[in-house]
């Protein structure tokens, strides 16, 4: 009989504890809330308070402001990609496209808040930017193609065009309540892309 420990023993030891995973999820959810609000309250201390955890716990998971920014940003992008898949399976084509675009407004609000709170200087294209751009373009591209195939949406609007329009609307509005204004504009855009039933 060998004296070696079972092969799976180290795997269990290396797995993060369940409470550590829960704490990380709580911090990411809190960061999204705090960063979306923006302004002077958007600090790491505010994130820890919102999560009901100590600042030391936050720093154990996210040693720098940038690492927290990246984790929230990456999670938001991946959730939007997953949402596109869900809507593709569950909602009619135009409704799916509209709901996905609406969800992006909340994402941009979080991103705006993070940029202000973390004082991140505008940087050139990064791996994260390329990754998110590719994921979001493919996500909206699937929803758009489905709506075009159903004969519900014009075929001359591309996924990249739609994302540029969305981003432009979001970043041209900074006044309080800007999200509601952008949602109305998005509805007008989607309605303008529709092909009237014959």
Residues 161/121/104/174 CA torsion (nearest 10 deg): -90
Does 37 or 179 have the greater pLDDT score?
179
Name residue 153's beta-bridge partners: 194
Residues 107, 78: Cα–Cα separation, whole Å: 11
Tokens found for residue 54: 């100590």
Give Cβ neighbours of residue 112 (< 8 Å, ≥ 6 apart): 38, 170, 171
For 142-185, what is each residue's pLDDT tens digit? 999 999 999 999 999 999 999 999 988 888 877 778 889 999 99
Whole-prediction pTM: 0.76
Helix (H, G, I), strand (E, B) or coil at 194: strand
Whether residue 6 has pLDDT greater than 60: no
Span 66-95, average pLDDT: 92
Domains in the chain, CATH or no CATH each = 13-193 (1.10.357.10)
């Amino acid at each position: 009989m060998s004296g070696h420990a079972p092969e799976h023993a180290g795997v269990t030891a290396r797995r993060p504890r369940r409470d550590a995973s829960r704490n990380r999820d709580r911090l990411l959810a809190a960061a999204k809330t705090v960063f979306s609000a923006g302004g002077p309250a958007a600090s790491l201390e505010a994130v820890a308070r919102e999560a009901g955890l100590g600042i030391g716990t936050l720093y154990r998971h996210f040693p720098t402001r940038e690492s927290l920014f990246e984790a929230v940003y990456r999670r938001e992008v991946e959730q939007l990609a997953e949402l596109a898949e869900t809507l593709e399976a569950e909602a009619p084509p135009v409704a799916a496209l509209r709901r996905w675009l609406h969800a992006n407004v909340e994402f941009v609000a979080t991103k705006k808040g993070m940029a202000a709170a973390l004082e991140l200087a505008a940087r050139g294209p990064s791996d994260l930017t390329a990754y998110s751009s590719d994921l979001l373009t493919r996500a909206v591209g699937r929803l758009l193609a489905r709506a075009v195939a159903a004969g519900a949406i014009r075929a001359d609007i591309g996924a990249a065009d739609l994302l540029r329009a969305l981003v432009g609307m979001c970043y041209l509005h900074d006044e309080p309540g800007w999200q509601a204004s952008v949602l109305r504009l998005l509805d007008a855009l989607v309605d303008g892309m529709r092909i009237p039933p014959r």
